[in-house]
Structure 1
Amino acid sequence: MLQKHAQHLCWRAGFGESLSAIKETEKQSAKQVFRKMLKDSEVYVPIAVVEPTDIAGDLRKLRMDKKENGGEGVERSKLKELQKERREEQARLNTTWLEVMSTEKGMLREKMAFFWHGHLVARSINASFSQSYVNTLRKYALGKFGDLLLAVSKEPAMLQFLNNRQNRKRSPNENFARELMELFTLGRGNYTERDIKEVARAFTGWDFDIKGNFVFRERQHDEEEKTVFGKKGYFKGEDIIQLLLENKQTAIFITTKVYQHFVNENISTHGHQEKIQELATRFYKTNYDIANLLENIFTADWFYAQQNIGSHVKSPVELLVGLKRTLGLKFEDEQTSLFIQRVLGQVLLYPPNVAGWPGGKNWIDSSSLLFRMQIPALIFTDKQPEINAKSDGDINTDYQTRKRSFRADMDWTAYASIFSDKEAKLMTEMSDFLLQVSPAEAVVQGIQDKTKTDSRTETVRKAAMALMMLPEYQLC
């Protein structure tokens, strides 16, 4: 593979990769490189930084403290302690998943789990529920879409977020049913209001217990006949998911979203629609095999066409993980990443709404671009950011707004050693590795002139910082 093509694959199917890893692909085909990425992602290891929830135990503890120590003040104090513990757990879960993305070899699994996090959207202030949800995304990320959809639909975070706990036969709640079809499977306009009502009835009784385990409450389930997509039956939730999978529109909808995220956001040109239709047909025939869909994309010649390289605006998480993964840097205070996520508008575990993050060019505006371009300088010179992370008034997210030191550990001597010893080649090699979109020659020459020092390591440090502060670094 050409270096530019290998980097394109590693950025889209992962979060970038070190130059030494890129160079290992030089004599391999795209299929060989992708198959290795798939093999590296075979093993699923759950993230386990949060203890399983004990809602009943927490409530008992509050009541006992109130009884033994007396007064509402004691109860409020203990409640604040519990809330603080939950926030700290959520922060630890966020930074742990970010670290897994940044360091583990199975980056294809993590990249797909991250994609599903923005598609099958759920959110919870209970860190145990969040951890269970994230692990389900990670477990099924490369398997069959139907298995993933069913498993996520039974997650306590999802049942709580889309109000299915309130979905009972005497008073159906249509929230989950609507989003299941509009955002998760068929897309708007491919179902009727009658379908929403009938699907909601099928999911009545889906709930979870005080430990966060899925339970089907038969007494709350509507057992009467339902008519969905013109078919009659005594449908339950599992039956609805099967009906959705049988509808080819689901394959088209999912394939389109995957294509826009991993290939090109603008699908109105260059024959993208034809490619999507062909991929969707295969996706449907393989019973929604996610790994197979990705292989068909990442090993196709057209994936490496010039119009697709450097066309993707890095999301804040992709930018952050990419910095850590390609440079091997590590923040002294890992919660620095929470502040960066908050300022740039993408905090893991906190999607803005059920539609997820808008993505693409929506990530770039004048203030966020300026901060993005300042991040390398903040990291490599240990400056303090002038920008503040705005509070949204939510006590559960205030911890994300605290300013922290950007100091990071980085072995610049080792990093400098991966590039050519020849001065004439150094800047070209660094630019080719760090940037998927080539800047003007005059810009690169200007950086070379300004960063040249007697110390090769210092020259590399300054040049890397300057290159990563260019607008082109925001693209992959």
Structure 2
Amino acid sequence: MSNSTINLTKKSQSKYYFSPSDDLGLKPYSGEWTQKEAAHLLRRATFGPNYDQIKASIQLGLQKSIDILFSTPAEPGLPINYYFKDDPEVPVGETWVGKKVTPNVQGLVPARNNSLSAWITRLMLSDTPNVIEKLMLFWHNHLVISNIFNPNFKYSYILLLRKYALGDFRELMKKITIEPAMLLYLNGNENTATAPNENYAREVLELFTIGKGPLVGDGDYTNYTEQDVVELARALSGWTVRQGKAFFRSNKHDKGQKQLSHRFNDTVINNLEEEEYKKVIDIIFEQEEVSRFISRQLYIWYVNYNITDDIENNVIEPMAKIIRDNNYVIEPALKALLMSDHFFNECNHGEMVKSPMDFTLSLIKTGNVPMPAEEIPQYYLANYLNRQVFKKMEQAYFFIPSVAGWKAYYQEPVFYKFWISSVTLPLRRNIVNALVDKRVKIRGVKLGLELLDIISKFDSPENPDLLLKSFTDLFLPYDLTEEQYEFLKTQVLIPGLPDYEWTVEYNDYKNNPNDTSKANAINKKLQNVCKILLNLPENQLM
């Protein structure tokens, strides 16, 4: 029925400084502030808004909406053992953080890893609008770890990302360099003076900080050279993991001078022992290209993968300058981007294919799916999403396929369209239909979209045309065609009946809300609509 396709084919008063002037190319948005703009901001900055949050944003306006999104989030609490009864150190309901991993207890490590992943998903399911969880996923995709099985290492890594998510990128890079999970993932623990391992040195340049530019000579990638990889690996040698922490072994560290290439101004790094890794990061961050590189990554994550010359000059360069002006603190540049006229430009609405997490979590949040009241059932719901939805759709925490991250954010020319395939599209349909029909069962409780609650907030739910328009505005990034609306009304909502039949039936239900049969009849019609509407190609986009 749909004609559209996914086409797989000044000083501010804040503590930070950014200029929103035209010459910086990040002119603040000053157009209409309607449901369309508010929903666009909340969909891109979070894992999906509900109706009340969109309406609140409309009332608040852009600046106050941004203030709320960037407010300091509540402390997340500690992950708990939510099911494993054989943990000798941690009873069910208590946290395993800081507790030893008892060897030879079958199932203990997987249980704690399941707990950690569920804890992260619970945070993503939070009904408090904040940029932190979406930004956490950005950093996880940017500073990848995978194939790490010790839950304590993964938890420490997550805490590090949370601490610096909006903060000092340079300091984050120093901390991540000797984070146990990263030392293990990229073999930094094996890097010694006599047996150098270049994995981390290469990735810290190519993927994490400055990026590989065009090949302009033998081993010369414009921003760095092979010589720099070799020399930085030497400077980073001597670290290992001991008793769960990073440990520096002076006798394994290369104490010689490290001569960098002309790309780093022929800098020489002298032996600084356990402080040398900090010098490495400082030298890299002296290059302005670092600020451009991270700006591009943020742009791809929040706006669009198509970075034209105009966007490079008028958006990326200004963002990079804001980052440099704020000593590599990320927050002011991200705020400037999300408040910009460019961000709200019509060409950026509905241009991003929802990731599996965006698709599923926004369906749950926008659909008012109620969260279990108690903590342990919340963990079971989160575990269901992790194992039965996210992993199968090929996007889950700690299961990133390569150090480069998920292909949707770097692989030309496909980019976001990687998320849609003959395997993943049916899975998306399955979760839509399961949630619409309330077939998701968690510890005996059926969960799904609360459609009657949703439409009770609409301005005129008794009017079938306005009802369908309200559903579309709530869930989709742009409007449907007249033909699509006509189909939904005349073939799905009230097939073969005049409009007043819906008005009479809805008002009858509204006057008798405790009449189960009337409620069920209305709900069934809404379910039929939503199984069509939410499976449209338009709902794959944001």
Please tell me the TM-score bracket, short chain as reference. Answer: 0.7 to 0.9
Greater helix content: 1
Q: What amino acid sits opposite 1:232 in the alignment?
A: V
Q: 2:211 maps to what in 1? A: 187
Task: Point out where structure 2 has 5 or more consecutive residues left out of the alignment.
Answer: 1-32, 81-94, 213-220, 409-415, 495-501, 506-520
2:304, 2:351 within 8 Å by CA — same for their partners in 1? Answer: yes
CA–CA separation in structure 2 for the residues paired with 1:172 and 1:269: 39
1:162, 1:176 within 8 Å by CA — same for their partners in 2? Answer: yes
1:203, 1:237 within 8 Å by CA — same for their partners in 2? Answer: yes
CA–CA separation in structure 2 for the residues paired with 1:220 and 1:407: 57
Q: Does 1:51 align with 2:96?
A: yes
Deviations 1:339-393 (A, max 9, x none): 1112211111211111110111111123322321332112233569xxxxxxxxx
Q: Does 1:278 align with 2:318?
A: yes
Q: 2:257 maps to what in 1? A: 225
5 Å-filtered alignment, 1:366-445, equals: 366-381=422-437, 407-421=446-460, 422-423=462-463, 424-445=465-486
CA–CA separation in structure 1 for the residues paired with 2:445 and 2:481: 30
Aligned match for 2:120, one of 93, 97, 103: 97
Deviations 1:6-33 (A, max 9, x none): 1111111111111111111223332221
Identity of aligned residues (%): 28
Find runs of 4+ consecutive structure 1 residues off by over 6 angstroms.
Answer: none
SS in 1 for 2:237: coil
SS in 1 for 2:142: coil
Q: Which moved more, 1:212-221 or 1:348-357?
A: 212-221
CA–CA separation in structure 1 for the residues paired with 2:267 and 2:310: 39
| Cα 1:35/1:12, change in 2 over 3 Å | same
SS in 2 for 1:343: coil
CA–CA separation in structure 1 for the residues paired with 2:453 and 2:439: 23
SS in 2 for 1:208: strand
1:86, 1:125 within 8 Å by CA — same for their partners in 2? Answer: yes
Q: Which moved more, 1:234-243 or 1:267-276?
A: 267-276
Instruction: Please state how far the C-alpha of 1:254 moved relative to its aligned partner.
Output: 0.6
Q: What amino acid sits opposite 1:195 in the alignment?
A: D
**What TM-score comes out, normalization by structure 2 length?**
0.75
SS in 1 for 2:247: strand
Q: Does 1:118 align with 2:152?
A: no
Aligned match for 1:295, one of 335, 346, 355: 335
Instruction: Please state how far the C-alpha of 1:206 moved relative to its aligned partner.
Output: 2.1
CA–CA separation in structure 2 for the residues paired with 1:193 and 1:406: 58
Q: What amino acid sits opposite 1:122 in the alignment?
A: I
**What TM-score comes out, normalization by structure 1 length?**
0.85
CA–CA separation in structure 1 for the residues paired with 2:345 and 2:444: 41
2:232, 2:280 within 8 Å by CA — same for their partners in 1? Answer: yes
CA–CA separation in structure 2 for the residues paired with 1:132 and 1:342: 22
1:119, 1:183 within 8 Å by CA — same for their partners in 2? Answer: yes
Corresponding residue pairs, total: 434
Q: 1:448 maps to what in 2? A: 489
Q: What amino acid sits opposite 2:454 in the alignment?
A: Y
Q: Which moved more, 1:448-457 or 1:188-197?
A: 448-457
Deviations 1:287-327 (A, max 9, x none): 11211011110111111001111111111111122122222
5 Å-filtered alignment, 1:32-431, equals: 32-39=64-71, 41-45=72-76, 47-49=78-80, 51-52=96-97, 58-59=102-103, 78=104, 81=106, 84-105=107-128, 107-123=130-146, 124-188=148-212, 189=221, 190-210=223-243, 212-228=244-260, 229=264, 230-234=266-270, 236-268=276-308, 271-329=311-369, 330=371, 333-334=380-381, 335-337=383-385, 338-359=387-408, 360-381=416-437, 407-421=446-460, 422-423=462-463, 424-431=465-472
SS in 1 for 2:197: coil
Q: Which moved more, 1:404-413 or 1:364-373?
A: 404-413
